[in-house]
Amino acid sequence: MRFGATRSSSFIKARRGNYDLFLRRIEVWDATQKRTLVFLTNHRGFAASTIAAVYHQRWQIELLFKALKQNLRIKTFVGTSPNALQIQIWTALIALLVLKYLQLRARYGWSLSNLAALLRQQLFVYRDLIAWIDNPFQPPPLLDPSAEQLALSW
């Protein structure tokens, strides 16, 4: 998204409950989509271009969390403390980074959602991961059960 000219319109006074809100209306020209975006903000000290950049970055963060929720099936957070939230977000980011790496490394044309779904199915199958992402429709290799399994004695 490339922003063109920004201009700030007049301040808007609104009433909410028992107090007044002073909002600022900002119009930004989006050169890539050829349209005007209008933002309402209570930050009156920032330049209009700064407000436009903040909203643009906020949208990028929204897209990141959308990708996390769709591909990793994260619907809610397990913990509510700041430390628990940070651990869960960092873990999800690392998992998404590993998925993106596998997607880029593979010779097969994976979509990120298909790769995540099929990896979930293949978790308990013993096979070479890199060979599988290059050629996913081959059956897993047959293993000699006596070679790597401990014998049970009763």
Residue with tokens 């509510």: 80
119-144 pLDDT per residue, tens: 888 877 777 888 888 888 877 777 66
Q: What is the pLDDT of residue 12?
A: 65
The per-residue b/e assignment along 119-133, b for 16 or more CB within 10 angstroms, e otherwise, is: beeeeeeeeeeeebb
Mark whether 68 and 122 lie in a shared domain. no
Q: What does the alpha-carbon distance between residue 43 and residue 51 come to, in Å, rounded to a whole number?
A: 8
CA distances for 74 relative to 8, 21, 108, 147, angstroms = 39, 36, 26, 39
How many other CB atoms are found less than 10 A from the CB of residue 151? 5
The ranges of the chain with pLDDT < 70 are 1-17, 19, 143-151
Q: Provide the domain limits for residue 132.
A: 75-136
Residue 15's pLDDT is 67
Same domain? 64 vs 51: yes
| Residues 62 and 15 occupy one common structural domain | yes
50 lies in the same domain as 33: yes
Decide which of 46, 72, 98 is a domain's last residue.
72
- Residue 94 pLDDT: 92
Per-residue confidence (pLDDT) for residue 144, from 0 to 100 = 67
pLDDT at residue number 11: 62
Which residues neighbour 77 within 8 Å (Cβ) at sequence distance 6 or greater? 84, 85, 88
Query: What pLDDT is recorded for position 13?
Result: 63
Nearest to 119 by CA among 107, 104, 135, 136: 136
pLDDT given at position 51? 83
Same domain, 111 and 128: yes
Residue 149 is which amino acid?
Q
pTM, two decimal places:
0.57
**Residue 13 placed within a domain:** yes
Regarding whether 5 and 64 lie in a shared domain, the answer is yes
pLDDT at residue 146, rounded to an integer: 62
DSSP reduced 3-state for 115: helix
User: 41 and 85 share a domain?
Assistant: no
